Amino acid sequence: MRLSLLALLAVVASAVTDCSSSSGQAQCEAAGGQCVLGGNFCANPMYQYDCNPDRNPGGAYCCAPCHAGTVPDDAGTACVGAE
């Protein structure tokens, strides 16, 4: 009985870890971005990572820094080549 209880706890702990590590916020941060609310300027949005979908459906998204050799444009809405 004790062994089966430990096995059950291990399965539950694994499921909880998998759920939290696959969240949009965790994936965004792992990709080097940060979650921002809609209405913010973001030069490199990564919309595939839905941040906080339960609290901000469609209103929070992942914003990543510009890639090497690029910088945000004057409006802060796109990455452009560094001059």
Distance (Å, whole) CA 29 – CA 42: 15
Cα separation, 10 vs 31, in Å, equals 28
Model confidence, pTM: 0.61
Q: Round the average pLDDT of the chain to a whole number and report it.
A: 75
**What is the residue extent of each domain of the chain?**
2-81
Q: How confident is residue 79, by pLDDT bands cut at 50, 70 and 90?
A: very high
Q: What is the pLDDT of residue 57?
A: 62
- Span 1-37, pLDDT tens digits: 444 444 444 443 433 333 344 688 899 999 999 998 8
Conformation bin of residue 57: beta by default, left when phi > 0, alpha when psi is -120 to 50: beta
pLDDT of residue 50: 80
Phi, psi of 28, rounded to the nearest 5 degrees:
-60, -50
Distance of alpha carbon 18 from alpha carbon 15, whole angstroms:
5
